[in-house]
Structure 1
Amino acid sequence: MPSPAAGSSFEETGGTGAAPLSAPSTSASRPRPRATGWLAVLPLLVFVAVVFGLPTYAIAVGAFNTGSTDPAGAHWTTANMTQSVQGSYATALLGSVKLSALTALLSVVFGLPLAQAVITSRFRALREAVLAASGVLANFGGVPLAFAFVATLGNAGELTERLDLTKHGWSLYNFNGLTIVYLYFLVPLMVLTITPALEGLRTQWREAAHNGGATAWQYWFHVARPILTPSLMGSFVLLFGSAFAAYATAAAMVGSSVPLITLQIANTLSGNVLVGQGNVALALSLDMIIIACVVMAAYIPLQRRTARWLH
């Protein structure tokens, strides 16, 4: 005799004995709409479009336009872009690239062992103090930084007079002096950038290398170096971009004695060199934007590759 449960199942299937048909689950079959995700980032996209997109568009239009001051009237031209990579403008562009590459490389060389020393320190308070100071110094630039170095290592600076550095040919107001000033905020930035990658080096890897008979140098060269290479390259690219875009420190300290693209743009816009060269300044700005885009295009894949080891 069938049980009540079996009888009720038989009645629900209409007497055929087939398995009951269930309604398809719409929540499981349909993909979750992604509109909510786009709405979440919509304010950020609007902000980026207004703050970065509109100025970039205006710079691009002005770089390929003669402007209303031209005797022939405003019209499209490539003369501004051509002029921006010739003569003194090309010298300033190469000067900025050279200064940025050198300071970024020195910051990587000096910042990596400093960050490693902070990570391996047994004193937690010292580690937190160094990281906090790095965060402050990495954002300490502009006129206050220039004044601090002028008062310390300028022609009448405290250390310059005490150590009599002028007899040895020391000068703060040249390429070498500007390099030292840039290291003041780039090395702390390097410490902040490379610290997460150093923390991602697991102690199990070091112990395994040690148990296998590897020395400390062999561990760093064969194990840590391949893992840290994307992070180091990404840090170099980030530091290069930060130094390349710096303006206030160099303007307050060296003026026009060191040819830099940012100083050249300011002089061209203000008419200190030639009058009516505003569109050339826009072309120089577009050159900087192009270089910044190249830097970011190199930084993003390096950052993604680094994230594989950190997670």
Structure 2
Amino acid sequence: MTTAPTPVPSSAAADRDSTRVGGGAGGSRTAPKNPLADRTAPRRRLRPAGGPWLATLPLLVFFAIAFGLPAIAIAIGAFTLSPDAPSGAGSFTTSNMTASVQGAYSTALLGSIKLSALTALIGVLVGLPLAQAVVTSRFRMMREAVLSASGVLANFGGVPLAFAFVATLGNAGELTKQFKLTSHGWSLYTFNGLTIVYLYFLIPLMILTITPALEGLRVQWREAASNNGATNWQYWRHVALPILLPSLLGGYVMLFGSAFAAYATAAAMVGASIPLIPLHIADALSGNVLVGQGNVALALSLDMIVVAAIVMAVYLPLQRRSARWLS
């Protein structure tokens, strides 16, 4: 009797058999596999090194082009003689920087700092309680309406804002004639009048800035203070305000920068009657006062950048401290 030949196992069968463990009388079992590891392994190999940096590369490129190149051009022009200079045009000089902190330019720089500091301080003091009222309001529609209106008013500036105040509180404005404000010494075209105009868009900007920080205050902190016998004033003095201080300083910096760089509103309303650094920069660039002062205008712009950098250097360390509490 002829015996049938034993079939040779294929390579696939051999592979399956090699995965079997625990043989015996009861049969054999197949070793379990980890499907999650099989799916994630290829993805880890395809993930490029330095992924977060590659994701932020477009933003860094935009920042370098939109802010870096103009800043470099300003710095170079501030230390270069104007092409209209009688001699030595294009050579290195410090005369532009020296002129930017003397005479009328110095007065304009101090005037801009004074106006910006005052309006930013009033904006913080007025905007904080208004933002707190918005955050604690039980009426959702009113809260959304206030925040939406603040977003619109914070960006409402320039010539339209100047015209609105001139038509309302100018020498022939409706409220000026109605309440006879001129006889009481009121004038819109003064430092105080310009302060009121700036507050029109700075207070809404402060509401938008400080509202997220107020929402970050935890209810447990107020309850703990109340359980320990603290009054509402003591809670704000010893708990809320210290936590909000970096955010308040951040809002102050933002308001200061917005007022410091504002040009169109002041130019349309007061012209050259109030010395401000943006107005002097425009005059120097256009040659309204003196010809060949373009590089002095760049020096004035560099002064503004230095002032903004000093303020930001104070703000950034405090902002990191606030983030630890409100996160």
- 1:70 lines up with 2:111 in the alignment: no
Q: Determine helix, strand or coil for the equivalent of 1:71.
A: coil
Give the Cα–Cα distance (whole angstroms) in 1 for the partners of residues 240 and 319 of structure 2: 17
In the alignment, structure 1 residue 102 sits paired with structure 2 residue 118: yes
> Could you tell me how far 1:37 is from its partner in structure 2?
2.2
**Which of 28, 35, 43 is equivalent to 2:50?**
35
Q: 2:282 aligns with which of 266, 283, 287?
A: 266
- 2:275 pairs with 1:222: no
Shift of residue 294, structure 1, vs aligned partner: 2.0
DSSP 3-state at the match of 2:82: coil
Alignment partner of 2:92: what SS? coil
User: Which whole-Å deviations, capped at 9, do the CAs of 1:213-235 have from their partners, x for residues lacking one?
Assistant: 11111111111121111111111
Change (3 A) 1:302 1:34: farther
In the alignment, what sits opposite 2:199? 183
- Secondary structure at the aligned position of 1:150 is classed as helix
Match of 2:307 in 1: 291
TM-score by length of 1: 0.88
Which residue, 114, 134, 147 being the options, matches 2:150?
134
- Of stretches 54-63 and 142-151 in structure 1, the one that deviates more from structure 2 is 54-63
The residue that corresponds to 2:99 in the other structure is 83
CA contact (8 A) 1:111 1:187 kept: yes
The 10-residue stretch of structure 1 (226-235 or 131-140) with the greater mean CA deviation from structure 2: 226-235
User: Any gaps of 5 or more consecutive residues in structure 1?
Assistant: 8-25
**Aligned to 2:155, what secondary structure does the other structure show?**
coil
* Matched residue SS, 1:281: helix
Q: Does the CA contact (< 8 Å) of 1:138 and 1:185 recur in 2?
A: yes
Q: Is the 8 A contact 1:175 1:258 kept in 2?
A: yes
The answer as to 2:64 corresponding to 1:45 is no
Counterpart of 1:160, as a letter, is T
1:211 aligns with 2:219: no
Task: Flag structure 2 segments of 5+ consecutive residues without an equivalent.
Answer: 1-19, 24-40
Q: Could you tell me the TM-score, scaled by structure 2's length? A: 0.84
Structure 1: distance between partners of 2:244 and 2:64: 34
Aligned-residue sequence identity (percent) comes to 75
State the shift of 1:298 in Å.
Answer: 2.6
How far apart are 1:300 and its partner, in Å?
Answer: 2.6
Distance in 1 separating the partners of 2:83 and 2:124:
46
Letter in 1 for 2:141: A
Q: Displacement of 1:39 after TM fit?
A: 2.0
Could you tell me which residue of structure 2 aligns to residue 113 of structure 1? 129
Question: What SS does the corresponding residue of 1:171 show, helix, strand or coil?
Answer: coil
Which residue identity is paired with 1:262? P
Q: Which residue of 1 aligns with 2:6?
A: none
Tell me by how many angstroms 1:304 deviates. 2.2
RMSD of Structure 2 on Structure 1 (CA): 2.1
Q: Give the length in aligned residue pairs.
A: 291
Distance in 2, matches of 1:173 and 1:201, equals 41
The answer to whether the 8 A contact 1:137-1:184 is kept is: yes
